[in-house]
Structure 1
Amino acid sequence: MRPLLPFFHSFKFKITATVAVMVFVAAIGVGRVSLVIFDVSMRQLLAAQEMAMLTSTAAFIENDLHSKRQALRLLAEERPGHRVGPDQIQALLEAHRSLRDDFYNVTAFDTKGNLIANLLDRRTIGKGNYAGRDYFRDTMASGEGLISAPFRSQLSGKPVVVITQPMLAEDGSIGAILVGAVDLVRPSFSGQMRELDAKTGGYLFIVAADGTIIHHPDRDFILRRQPDDAGAVIAAALASPDGWRDDVLDGGEPALLVHQRLRGVDWTVAVSRPLQRAFAPLTHVRLRVLAAITLITAFAALLGWLITTRLIRPLNRLRDHVVAIDSGTASLAVLETQRHDEFGLLSRAFHAIGQRRDQFEKDLQQIATTDALTGVHNRRLFDAFFPTALARGQRNGRRVGLAMLDLDKFKPVNDTHGHAVGDAVLVEFARRLTDSVRASDTVARLAGDEFVVVFELVESYNEAGEAGVLGQRIIDAMAPPFQIGALTLQMTTSIGIALADIAHAQPAEVMQAADEALYRVKAQGRNGWLVHDLDKALSRPISRPAA
């Protein structure tokens, strides 16, 4: 041991030790600054990715609520002009038990708030009055359907929100109100939310504008207003419509909060993710940096700074790629890298998530698209909607009709008066067409002057039936002259209507039958309609409006 003592007391050792300590402290400082820059970059990147995933989930929830409202609206319109008595409504509900796929229960109330129909348990009919409920009063006052504030159901005891839809009586007044209850403990969109929870490592919650919790992984929080254990997170989510924060404490632990306000209802969807869990993959990176700092020499400070700067370059590029993708100046392909390090794995993971998000957004875009000129639906929506309508008709045992229309002698209008006049004629034609069909029918423009109408719930094909009535109504709607500025144009239309076979209807077969019927109308003088019933292989003759 003694031979070592002179070495430790030597000036050489002391200078070496002093320099080593100074370099070590400097390296610690440089390493700390580099890690701070690294953390800031990662926060921005993580928040951008979380916001993109939350946007897809919010769109899914909005579409789910819209589908539920549409289902009730179609149910309310299924018996137009008929008596809406309790027995008829109960029978109508029981004929559509598939509503249980969308709702926990569907009930109906008369205009005094008495329970007159119950899909889940008809034994409760007549055993309650709900005229005091806000959703009942608001629906009666506005005459329109709504989504209620969350509350605990008197019938089931479950936390629910309800979707209402008035049913009109023969005189056009409100005859009854349909009420669909959505169980907040197990909503139909809970699968999408569990998937997001699994991806983020955090949890998702939904809160109303007044702070009432609509959905939360802790079921005891549902229907509570900003409980103590989650008050700070909820208040932060309600502070602004959309955005993210990383300065929120969730249960005493720092968390990343990403939130977005829904458009169709005054709810806020948010994700809370612990920062420690979010940055867990970076722990080993920090350990490597600290281990390297302990081994550096006089050049360690500069070398450490250069290495750290070089290390974060791939992350900066990754962040730039995410920003470019968000702005639309780059595609997801830029995230497909061949790097084998952590940044390569992270980039490829974001690429896979982005592909799933893009596919989800494309599916949503196909559901809701509009023709830019006329304002009706376009070909893309029709292609997605028509097979669904046929399938729905087959499930319900109801006929579905398809009308194909075009304007007679439209090309001379364009050639003589120009495309601006032709566009104005198309806009007026689409307006009259939309006004002449039922609210449950779907109008779309395929191309040029070609339009289609999907008639759901059609019961007959003869002239006295709905198909003939609808065809003649469209012909009559086009009879008045088209006033385009100073021009007065007399326009007519030809209509080919195909009624689908309930059991074996195929979209292509129905479209071909409607197209053939249209050409037969054209061949026999235009300005008329013809019905082709695929089920009976029969057609009705052309009918024209009276002169």
Structure 2
Amino acid sequence: MMFRLNRRIRPFDSLISRLMLLGLCLVTIGIAARYYAISHFLREDLATVVEAQQLALATYVARDIDERIVHRRNLLERIGAALPPDLLRRPAALRAWLKEHYEFQPLFSAGLFVTDTRGVALADYPVLPDREHGDYADRDYIKDALAGRTTIGRPVMGRAAKEPVLPMAVPLLDGRGEVRGALVGITALATPGFLDLLQQSHIGKGTGGFLLVSPQDRLFVAASEPDMVFTPTPPSGVNALHDRAMAGYRGTGITVNAKGVEEVSAMVTVPSTGWFLVARLPSREAFATVARTQSFLLRNGVLAFMVFAALASTGMYVLLRPLSRAADHAERMTRGEIPLEPLPVVRQDEVGHLIGAFNRLLKKLDEQQAELARIAHHDSLTGLPNRALLADRLHQALARAQRTGSRVALLFMDLDGFKLINDSLGHEAGDDALRQVAQRLGKIVRQSDTLARVGGDEFVLLLCDLGEDAEAAAGIVAQKCIETLLPPFTVADIPCAIGVSIGIATGSGDTAAGALLQAADRGMYRAKKAGRGRYVACPV
């Protein structure tokens, strides 16, 4: 239903259009509120049920996996207790003994083998060409067993089996209780009756499944998706619920996985290994009822919107037609009386509030632009000027030196020992060391000078307004820089030594900025070659 509007009034400027729009907005808000409330309630209710189901399923599967592992560990302990110590000196007889026990209870699909106290394999069964006489002293389970402890090793790619395996080992004791060797049982993860069912099982319509995770190794031990088996877990920050599980959380939650798919997950510990099992189901499948309900609400909402629009437009046409005619008459009476200049806002109503908000937004944009300009000229780690700002200040200093007849000096500094800290303690420790270096150097810099960070561990100090003894003055400052870095730095609670090699170049107003910087750089390299922890002046 359309109204006759004066040609000077645009449709959305008219009172009729605004009232119509207001009514439609109210209806839309009501539909949206109903849509959200019902969807939210139904999703929360279903989430409680689905999470409980996932937790029960994960608990059952985790308990089953734990029982299988504990059963193998107990069996290995019984076999180790029954192994005669004198067989350790007779490999052939030892292999026959292993064969007899392996064939009686073949739970260790990848075989059994025995090592001596050095971790060298004495005999195995089934016989694998790369296992006998192999040195396994570096394996965690061998170390624990030779130390007298029964242990379940971390899942590894078997050297001899050439597939993902779970090793476990028990110590072999003689009559005096001394360790004579280690008995190792190896189970392939995909062996029938072990983790093969987990890797073949899916939840729901095939899109959900299981993950078996070793948090200490940050490894997916087994998974319903074959391409995830024996792959590293995602880094921190990718999946918030996974990060909590890696930190020890056990329970349920809704999260977005590394592939960007929202899913309902339940985490349960496998006690014998420290692993945890994840049962996961995509939210689109878990909350399929919610999606169908939302579709129903949308269809009915659109119908209600159309009915209201038809009734409201008819009602406003009948009620507001006289007001529209009065507005046309008033417009004709006042035509030409509106000033050309913008009308001021005299009331602090919604329009005044909008204008005020817009003005505040402009002010905020100006502040952000100033902050961006600051970031573009300063190092984000230390807050010092960067190479761009240094170049600008160097040109200004040379121009001032040209006018006043003074001299400038550049100290090009490269840290000694920083790479060792960065490589051994990590990048965060290296960043902390750089910040501490910047703080110490900043305490000896005049307000008129510029200390900048121009590279990883490279700093440049610009000295301005120097006299004819510029090189001597720069040498004094360089020695102060060396001395201020002599006390040890505390990085990651560890005292560390950081030195500095400095190249010095001086120039006047006629000196090119690039030549001055290159000369200081050459001086730094000469200081490095001369033994570090010193300064060398280099002519331009």
Q: Please report the TM-score for the alignment, with normalisation by the length of structure 1.
A: 0.47
Specify the structure having the higher radius of gyration (Cα). 2
Q: Please report the TM-score for the alignment, with normalisation by the length of structure 2.
A: 0.47
